[in-house]
């Protein structure tokens, strides 16, 4: 199946006004402080790629959050737990807009082709609803969101006010995302049978192995990007994996 150009839009009018009431903080960021003319042209090009990819990553996170909410509903998880998770979709979409607007302020996003049918790794539909929900929670929150939260920090942005404010806003949301997976697993623990736990252990091991490969692979976006990737990327990422992901999974019996 062919790919699709990653493009974003706003409907405008009453719908946008309602969205702005939900997330007024996006418009309140200091957008006018970014003067692209003050940045080296090569840095601008790298930054445009970085923030385009950031928008796409947040777009995938929104899709994963929405899929998780649907699975939680099907599993009849506690209503308050589902309601909190549903808020994460709006938060991820706000992060999409923030990243896309930064890319736009730098001169526009770069072309990115993606498969819209492959945004989320979905569980086997033959699994029990609770096991499906737990698999998504492990993938999305215990691993991906916990990692993102641990890695969010000012990078090579020179302390720019827009990036500093945008990062602080995103990190405030991600703090709740990073805690959610562990809250869910602690609630579901006594409801998961041995087969479900064995399945989740396999999922957790695969996710950790994938993250280890990501950390070990050199990547150009880890160079100076006017973004948020820390200078000591590998050291920080390894510590995040060990302390924020591996250790809590071991504690809950999902990793040896």
- pTM (2 decimals)? 0.93
Q: How far apart are CA 205 and CA 193, in angstroms?
A: 18
Indicate the pLDDT class of residue 230, thresholds 50, 70 and 90. Answer: low
Is the predicted pLDDT of residue 54 greater than 70, yes or no?
Answer: yes
**For the chain, domain boundaries:** 15-251
Whether residue 124 contacts residue 194, with contact meaning beta carbons closer than 8 Å, is answered with: no
pLDDT value for 219: 65
Q: ∠ CA 87-89-95 to the nearest 5 degrees?
A: 110
Q: What is the mean pLDDT of residues 213-239?
A: 77
Q: Return the sign of the alpha-carbon dihedral for residues 174, 25, 80, 55.
A: negative
Indicate the pLDDT class of residue 16, thresholds 50, 70 and 90. Answer: very high
pLDDT value for 222: 56
The SS3 assignment for 4 reads: strand
Q: What is the mean pLDDT of residues 6-34?
A: 96
Q: How far apart are the first and last CA of the chain?
A: 39
Phi, psi for residue 4 in degrees, rounded to 5? -125, 140
Q: Alpha helices, DSSP H only, in 37-160? A: 41-74, 79-105, 129-137, 146-151
Is the predicted pLDDT of residue 2 greater than 80, yes or no?
Answer: no
Q: What is the mean pLDDT of residues 170-183?
A: 94
Residues paired with 4 in a beta bridge: 114
Whether residue 109 contacts residue 52, with contact meaning beta carbons closer than 8 Å, is answered with: yes
The region of weakest confidence among 83-97, 112-126, 159-173 is 159-173
Q: What is the mean pLDDT of residues 160-166?
A: 90
pLDDT value for 153: 61
What is the CATH topology of the domain spanning 15-251?
A: Ribonucleotide Reductase, subunit A (1.10.620)
The SS3 assignment for 114 reads: strand
Give the closest residue to 75 by CA, choosing from 124, 135, 131.
131
**% pLDDT > 90, the chain:** 82
Whether residue 102 contacts residue 34, with contact meaning beta carbons closer than 8 Å, is answered with: yes
Whether residue 202 contacts residue 137, with contact meaning beta carbons closer than 8 Å, is answered with: no
């Amino acid at each position: 199946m062919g790919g699709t150009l990653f493009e974003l839009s706003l409907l405008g009018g009453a719908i946008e006004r309602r969205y702005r009431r939900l997330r007024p903080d996006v418009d309140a960021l200091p957008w006018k402080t970014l003067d692209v003319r003050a940045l080296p042209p090569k840095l601008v090009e790298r930054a445009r790629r970085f923030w385009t990819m950031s928008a796409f990553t947040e777009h995938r996170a929104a899709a994963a959050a929405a899929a998780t909410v649907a699975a939680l509903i099907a599993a009849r998880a506690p209503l308050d737990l589902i309601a909190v998770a549903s808020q994460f979709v709006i938060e991820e979409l706000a992060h999409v807009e923030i990243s896309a607007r930064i890319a736009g302020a730098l001169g526009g996003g770069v072309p990115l082709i993606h498969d819209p049918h492959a945004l989320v790794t979905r569980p086997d539909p033959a699994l029990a609803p609770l096991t499906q929900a737990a698999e998504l929670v492990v993938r999305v929150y215990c691993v991906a969101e916990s990692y993102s939260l641990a890695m969010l920090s000012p990078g090579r942005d020179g302390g720019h006010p827009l990036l500093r404010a945008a990062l602080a806003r995103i990190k405030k949301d991600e703090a709740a995302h990073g805690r959610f997976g562990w809250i869910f697993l602690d609630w579901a623990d006594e409801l998961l049978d041995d087969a479900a736990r064995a399945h989740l252990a396999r999922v957790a091991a695969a996710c950790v192995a994938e993250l280890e490969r990501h950390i070990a692979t050199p990547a150009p976006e880890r160079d100076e990007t006017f973004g948020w990737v820390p200078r000591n990327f590998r050291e920080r990422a390894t510590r995040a994996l060990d302390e924020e992901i591996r250790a809590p999974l071991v504690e809950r019996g999902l990793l040896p």
